[in-house]
């Protein structure tokens, strides 16, 4: 599984060879809201230079690490970049 977040607010997740495309945004409350294939989900987010941690309302957490073509997220406290962030679960 790979999740890619582009600076323009677009996102895509690839699982088992299938790619879902959508959008995302980070808000001031450290929440990631993303919409893929018409479904919207919101998770608490912790962002570091090489990891992304998402926790949903049911308190389930998924941790991602940067992939080989990754850059850092454009989010407060993290260095800015102009590229794609590719994340893979750990």
φ and ψ of 68, to 5 deg: -70, -25
β-pair partners for 70: none
The Cα 43–Cα 90 span in angstroms is: 17
Evaluate if pTM is beyond 0.85: no
pLDDT single digits (tens) 7-62 = 899 988 888 889 999 999 988 888 999 898 888 989 999 888 788 888 988 999 88
DSSP E strand stretches across the chain: 2-5, 10-15, 18-26, 31-36, 39-47, 51-55, 61-66, 85-89
Count how many domains the chain has: 1
CATH number at residue 34: 2.40.128.270
The Cα 18–Cα 57 span in angstroms is: 26
> Residue 79 sits in which domain range?
2-89
More confident residue, 77 or 9: 9
């Amino acid at each position: 599984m790979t999740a890619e977040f582009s600076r323009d607010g677009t996102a895509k997740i690839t699982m088992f060879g299938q790619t879902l495309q959508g959008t995302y945004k980070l808000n001031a409350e450290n929440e990631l809201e993303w919409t893929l294939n018409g479904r919207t989900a919101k998770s608490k987010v912790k962002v570091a230079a090489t990891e992304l941690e998402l926790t949903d309302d049911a308190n389930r957490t998924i941790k991602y690490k940067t992939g080989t073509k990754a850059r850092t997220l454009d989010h407060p406290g993290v260095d800015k970049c102009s590229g794609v962030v590719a994340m893979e679960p750990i």
